[in-house]
Amino acid sequence: MSEPWLELLLQSPLLLLLAVLMAYLLPLPESYHPLTFFRFFAQRLGQKVNPDHDRSPQQKRLSGGLAILVAILPWLFILMAFMHLSALPTVFEAILLYLLLDISSKQQRIQKLQRALQQQQLSLSRDLASMSLLRQTRTLSALGLSKAAIESLWLNFSQIWLTTLFWFLVAGIWPALMVRLLAILQQEWSPKLQHNRDFGAVVAWLSNWLQKPGYWLCFMLICIRLRCRLSIQRYRQRTAIYFDRAQMACLCAVSASLRCRLGGPVLYNTHKKQRDKIGQNDAEPDHLTLQKALNQLKQLIWFSMVLLLAYALLWWAVQLNLTW
């Protein structure tokens, strides 16, 4: 007996495409989304498990590692039980995949930020950016806000859309679910913030490794659909210090496709981090560059859907030929 996720690919490729299409065109409102509840749960769990900042780094790392199990395993067991009891496991899988691909809410917030920057409403832009970005936004200029929004937009696309689809197609819904929940824990317990530096180290390391395929897929999609030669050239010229190779490849491709600067120093709370500079010979991004980034992202989302359709139909055709 095949796994439900294989049945979803082999028997119902259109159901798979419908789940992906609905996730982008008709997303569940953020206030009603189950992952929003999990995000609040992760925040409260982090406050409960990591209240004492005077503990040793080893104790914080241990508690952070154990907190991952407490945060993920109960929900995983509950959903597996529902799957076991479901009369239509492929439909249940499609619904879960639909919920995991919640990228539209981020795009909508970045679109509001772009409009505020276009209207030169700097205070409103900073407030909107603080809702989407982990970094300190109170002192960012319009150029800094545009750059931060572009980086966040494309990294979010890689982490949510591409990474989730990759792990679903490779291993099924449960690994995809775990990777998605780990990404949320990484955001809520980010070691970029001083009080989470040790507590969030384990989840950040684990999540970063599992998200690498999404970054490389983003690099390849931009090379195929937008700018290939310049993306590869910019990556070869990189000197990665802060970003790992996968993130650097993704941001190099984005910088090449938009012909703008990315990276550079960033401030988290009061702690300044020196990051790699990308595309130093290009212009600084502005609200027009941010709008271009939004447009290009839409193109790549639709392009990924076309590739996914071809992949599912080809696999389906091969299996039908084998059965004949």
Q: Which residue bears the tokens 């509950």?
A: 78
The reported pLDDT for the residue numbered 153 is 92
Is residue 77 scored above 50 in pLDDT? Answer: yes
Q: Residue 260's beta-bridge partner residues?
A: 283
What is the average pLDDT across 193-211?
Answer: 88
Q: Which residue bears the tokens 């989730």?
A: 164
Is residue 69 scored above 90 in pLDDT? Answer: yes
Q: Is 193 left (phi over 0), alpha (psi -120 to 50) or beta?
A: beta
Is residue 167 scored above 90 in pLDDT? Answer: yes
The reported pLDDT for the residue numbered 5 is 54
State pLDDT tens for residues 107-122.
888 999 999 999 989 8
For CA atoms 41, 43, 44, 50, the dihedral sign is positive
The reported pLDDT for the residue numbered 239 is 60
Domain boundaries, the chain: 4-323
Query: Minimal CA–CA distance to 280: which of 263, 266, 265, 292?
Result: 263
Write down the mean pLDDT value for the chain: 84
β-strands 266-268, 271-273 pairing: antiparallel
SS3 content of the chain, % helix, strand, coil (to 5): 75, 5, 25
The reported pLDDT for the residue numbered 68 is 92
Residues in the chain: 324
The reported pLDDT for the residue numbered 128 is 86
Is there a contact between 8 and 15 (Cβ–Cβ < 8 Å)? yes
Is residue 1 scored above 50 in pLDDT? Answer: no
Is residue 127 scored above 70 in pLDDT? Answer: yes
Supply the DSSP symbol for 119: T
| 3-class DSSP state of 52 | coil
What is the average pLDDT across 235-248?
Answer: 72
Q: How far apart are CA 215 and CA 236, in angstroms?
A: 16
Higher pLDDT, 191 or 291: 291
Segments of 82-199 assigned E as strands: none
CA distances from 198 to 58, 143, 205, 262 (A): 8, 32, 11, 27
